[in-house]
Amino acid sequence: MANTPQSKKRARQTERRTEVNKARRSRIRTFIRKVEEAIASGNAAAAADALRAAQPELMRGVTKGVVHKNTASRKMSRLAARVKALSAA
């Protein structure tokens, strides 16, 4: 347990940041899920729109330190490949 005033303050700050990060991560997952659902439905236009909306959200997660840069790039790349395959088929 935190004893010093500074460690107590850090514990409070960590709690607040955890909530913010949790919300941001959840928001990113929602955007990714929308792309996944559009791909599953077979609607290429909707999937492309959803991907365009998800990309800035993922990169914002990177700048805020919620997601690692390579992880975001990998997710975007894989989603883009699936959307491209859907529109080609």
Amino acid 66: pLDDT: 96
C-alpha pair distances (Å), 76 with each of 1, 33, 80: 40, 12, 6
Amino acid 23: pLDDT: 97
Amino acid 32: pLDDT: 97
Amino acid 33: pLDDT: 97
Amino acid 56: pLDDT: 97
Instruction: Provide the token pair at 22.
Output: 């949790």
CB-CB contact of 66 with 27 (8 Å): no
Residues in the chain, pLDDT under 50? none
Amino acid 59: pLDDT: 96
The model's pTM: 0.87
What is the Cα–Cα distance from 36 to 40, expressed in whole angstroms? 6
